[in-house]
């Protein structure tokens, strides 16, 4: 089965390519390297022994996309490519709406033209907005998101639902990720954002290797057990395997399906810091700061549906993810500085 992975050199995309190859899929990547590096292709090859076909193209470029579809004859698409920084999206809404929507439109047009019927969309728990209650099930209401980034996920889910209603023979999976963290155990793949990281784990990683002095804990007065924000942190390797299971599900012709991909367990910011210290032996200094705008107090998944219908079960816990994330960050820093 030949799968197009857009954004396949990014954080979740690259781990998914590894998982797909390990499970016998033929992988073709389109990535414009906006937030990724071509060396990731070599690393996927080092891990799996297989070098995926790679096109350095922008998914919005419909003419190039048509050429690729004509040549490759895809059976399925997994669409990761997109802008994803929540704060940046508030400042540059047009850039976010244009890029995330246009790339999806281009793919959908090619699916119609070249008769590709299977599509997996990289969505987010952000579509649940401020939850009325946790755990979040797939039936929890989809709300107006708290950022243009989140709104693109809500919009694309809606567009895919409308299109799925027309194309009765299409199979579409909306995968709502909770908080992906960790890295491949080889230390070759992981998340290494440029500049000051927005997300908690990349930030802690930089503190751990001494590039930043301390973690800013955004608020300790939330209605949670220790007052800090609670999230559902899922190891990226578990999340990646969820895509293999989703493709298997689509091969049974289910139409449109929606799954949460999380662990089902909430962990607070202070608990994350403690788990990180335990897993790595590195002391993480932190300071309590005011709340960050737009943050919800608590958000974690009900995993019942994915477990029952996909057989999805996480193998790794938060400490595994902290250890693997730290090892990647350390190795990446050394590689970049030729140590």
Residue 166, Cβ neighbours under 10 Å: how many?
Answer: 7
Asked if residue 292 binds ligand UFG (CB under 6 A), the reply is yes
Please report, as residue ranges, which positions from 11 to 50 form the binding site for ligand UFG (by CB under 6 A): none
Nearer to ligand UFG by C-beta: 43 or 235? 235
Residue 146 Cβ vs ligand UFG, minimum distance, rounded to whole Å = 9
300 binds ligand UFG (CB under 6 A): no
From the list 19-27, 41-49, 91-99, 192-200, the region that binds ligand UFG by CB under 6 A is 192-200
Based on CB atoms, which residue is closest to ligand UFG, 85 or 163? 85
Question: Taking CB under 6 A as the rule, which mask of x and - marks residues 243-272 in contact with ligand UFG?
Answer: --------------------------x---
Number of residues forming the site for ligand UFG (CB under 6 A): 21
Q: Is 98 exposed, middle or buried, given 0-12, 13-18 or 19+ CB atoms closer than 10 A?
A: middle
Q: Using CB under 6 A, pick the residue from 14, 89, 124, 140 that binds ligand UFG.
A: 124
Does residue 150 belong to the site contacting ligand UFG (CB under 6 A)? yes
97 part of the interface to ligand UFG, by CB under 6 A: no
- Which of residues 187 and 229 has its CB atom nearest to ligand UFG in the complex? 229
Based on the shown chain and the rule CB under 6 A, indicate whether residue 126 belongs to the binding site for ligand UFG. Answer: yes
d(CA 53, CA 27): 7
Candidates 73-81, 101-109, 123-131, 317-325; binding stretch for ligand UFG (CB under 6 A): 123-131
295 interacts with ligand UFG by CB under 6 A? yes
Question: Residue 123 and residue 127: Cα distance in Å, rounded?
Answer: 8
Alpha carbons 265 and 280: distance in angstroms, whole number? 21
Name the H helices within the chain: 11-22, 39-48, 62-72, 86-91, 93-114, 148-166, 200-208, 236-250, 269-280, 304-310, 318-336
User: Measured from the CB of residue 66, what is the shortest distance to ligand UFG in angstroms?
Assistant: 30
Contact at 8 Å (CB) between 226 and 220? yes
Which of 124, 31, 27 shows the shortest CA–CA distance to 77?
A: 27
For residues 332 and 37, give the distance between their C-alpha atoms in angstroms, rounded to a whole number: 12
Residue 149 a catalytic site member: yes
- Closer to ligand UFG by Cβ: residue 229 or 325: 229
Residue 329 CB burial class (10 angstroms; 0-12, 13-18, ≥19): buried
Which residue is listed with tokens 């990226």? 236
**Residue 74 or 178: which CB sits closer to ligand UFG?**
178
If binding is defined by CB under 6 A, does position 199 make contact with ligand UFG? yes
User: Residue 298 gets which letter from DSSP?
Assistant: B
Out of 55, 83, 96, 149, pick the active-site residue.
149
Rg (CA), the chain: 19
CB of 197 to ligand UFG, least distance (A): 7
SS3 content of the chain, % helix, strand, coil (to 5): 45, 15, 40
Q: To the nearest 10°, the Cα dihedral for 182, 183, 187, 193?
A: -90
Q: Which residues bind ligand UFG (CB under 6 A)?
A: 84, 86, 124-126, 150, 179, 198-200, 203, 215-218, 229, 231, 269, 292, 295, 299
Q: Which residues carry out catalysis?
A: 149
């Amino acid at each position: 089965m030949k799968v197009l992975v857009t954004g396949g050199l990014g954080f979740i995309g690259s781990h998914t390519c590894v998982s797909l190859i390990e499970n016998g899929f033929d992988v073709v990547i389109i990535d414009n390297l906006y937030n990724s590096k071509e060396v990731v292709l070599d690393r996927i090859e080092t891990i799996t022994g297989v070098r995926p076909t790679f096109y350095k193209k922008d998914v919005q470029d419909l003419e190039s996309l048509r050429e690729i579809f004509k040549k490759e004859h895809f059976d399925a698409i997994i669409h990761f490519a997109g802008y994803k920084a929540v704060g940046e999206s508030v400042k540059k809404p047009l850039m976010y709406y244009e890029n995330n929507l246009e790339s999806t439109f281009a793919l959908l047009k090619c699916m119609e033209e070249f008769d590709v019927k299977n599509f997996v969309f990289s969505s987010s728990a952000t579509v649940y907005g401020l939850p009325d209650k946790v755990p979040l099930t797939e039936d929890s209401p989809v709300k107006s998101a708290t950022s243009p980034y989140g709104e693109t996920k809500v919009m694309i889910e809606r567009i895919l639902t409308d299109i799925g209603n027309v194309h009765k023979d299409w199979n579409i999976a909306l995968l709502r990720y909770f908080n992906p963290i960790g890295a491949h155990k080889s230390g070759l793949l992981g998340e290494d954002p440029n500049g000051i990281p927005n997300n908690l784990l990349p930030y802690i990683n930089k503190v751990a290797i001494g590039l930043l002095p301390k973690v800013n804990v955004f608020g300790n007065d939330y209605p949670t057990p220790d007052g800090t924000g609670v999230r559902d942190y899922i190891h990226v390797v578990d999340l990646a395997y969820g895509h293999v299971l989703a493709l298997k599900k689509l091969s049974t012709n289910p139409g449109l399906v929606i799954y949460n991909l999380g662990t089902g367990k909430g962990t607070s910011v202070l608990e994350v810091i403690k788990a990180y210290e335990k897993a790595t032996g590195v002391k993480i200094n932190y300071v309590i700061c005011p709340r960050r705008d737009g943050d919800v107090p608590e958000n974690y998944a009900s995993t019942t549906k994915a477990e029952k219908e996909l057989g999805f079960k996480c193998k790794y816990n938060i400490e595994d993810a902290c250890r693997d994330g730290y090892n990647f960050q350390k190795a990446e820093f050394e590689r970049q500085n030729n140590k």
